[in-house]
């Protein structure tokens, strides 16, 4: 077996939804490896996401990989969190992922398969910051959606997985975010230091490549050792 046969993504058509640091690093890495990757920086709107997917398929003839990289963070004290703050986090992290999967799966079914990778977070399986109720819940919901989609569409040749980054830059925090501390701020918890968006991009490429053909419905933790610290 050659490296290209195992890990190659040459000529794959990839749509990355979300112009986050991870989204941008992922698209750049795919393009460096010979794929065609584009970023759609769209709102979690039903028609907007459907149009972005339809336009991509119309121009490229197929969609081999969809990466949902949208991430809206926000730490808010639970008793004072507004419904709008809760809804904005849920809309970006979970509602948008559902809309993206719903739009892309029929195209992948028609072409005989594909791969979907969603960017979740370590905070979906283990609290890392205080005030992460909205964020952790939204990404935990995303994990559940990933597992359900993986089960529902295995027979269609569609693999669905998620990456769970830990201390990795995900974009600018909202202006109304509260800084409340938590385990991730404790000395020694980040055993390998801060991660980079490129670290996550490498894992996403793996999950989209032939090397991961036997992997679906999984949550790949990229936490720099947080869970064992």
Rounded distance, CA 150 to CA 114, Å? 11
Query: Could you write out the DSSP letters of every residue in 67-134?
Result: EE---------GGG--HHHHHHHHIIIIIHHHHHHHHHHHHHHHHT-EEEEEE--GGGTS--STT-HH
pLDDT at 27: 98
pLDDT at 90: 97
**In which region does residue 218 sit, left (phi positive, over 0), alpha (psi from -120 to 50) or beta (all else)?**
beta
Rounded distance, CA 207 to CA 116, Å? 9
Phi, psi for residue 29 in degrees, rounded to 5: -70, -45
pLDDT at 185: 74
Active site residues: 135
pLDDT at 182: 77
Domains and CATH numbers, the chain: 14-228 (3.40.50.720)
Q: Specify the residue for token string 């195209």.
A: 107
pLDDT at 42: 95
Rounded distance, CA 57 to CA 174, Å? 33
pLDDT digits (tens, 9 = 90+) for 43-63: 999 999 999 999 999 999 999
pLDDT at 1: 53
Flag residues of the chain having pLDDT under 50.
Answer: none
Task: List, in sequence order, every beta strand (DSSP E) within 103-206.
Answer: 114-119, 158-165
């Amino acid at each position: 077996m050659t490296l290209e046969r195992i890990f190659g993504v040459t000529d794959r058509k990839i749509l990355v939804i979300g112009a986050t640091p991870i989204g941008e690093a992922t698209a750049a890495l795919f393009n460096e490896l010979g794929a065609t990757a584009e970023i759609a920086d769209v709102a979690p709107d039903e028609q907007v996401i459907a149009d972005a997917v339809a336009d991509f398929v119309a121009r490229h003839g197929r969609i081999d990989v969809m990466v949902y990289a949208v991430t809206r963070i926000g730490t808010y004290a639970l008793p004072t969190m507004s419904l709008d703050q809760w809804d904005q986090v849920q809309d970006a992290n979970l509602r948008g992922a559902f809309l993206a999967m719903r739009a892309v799966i029929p195209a992948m079914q028609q072409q005989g398969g594909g791969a979907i990778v969603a960017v979740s977070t370590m905070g979906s399986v283990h609290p890392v910051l205080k005030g992460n109720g909205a964020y952790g819940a939204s990404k935990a919901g995303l994990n559940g959606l990933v597992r359900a989609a993986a089960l529902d569409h295995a027979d269609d040749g569609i693999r669905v997985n998620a990456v769970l980054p830990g201390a990795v830059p995900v974009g600018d925090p909202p202006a109304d975010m509260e800084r409340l501390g938590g385990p991730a701020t404790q000395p020694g918890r980040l055993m390998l230091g801060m991660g980079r968006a490129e670290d996550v991009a490498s894992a996403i490429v793996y999950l989209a490549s032939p090397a991961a053909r036997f992997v679906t419905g999984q949550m790949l933790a990229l936490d720099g050792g947080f869970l064992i610290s």
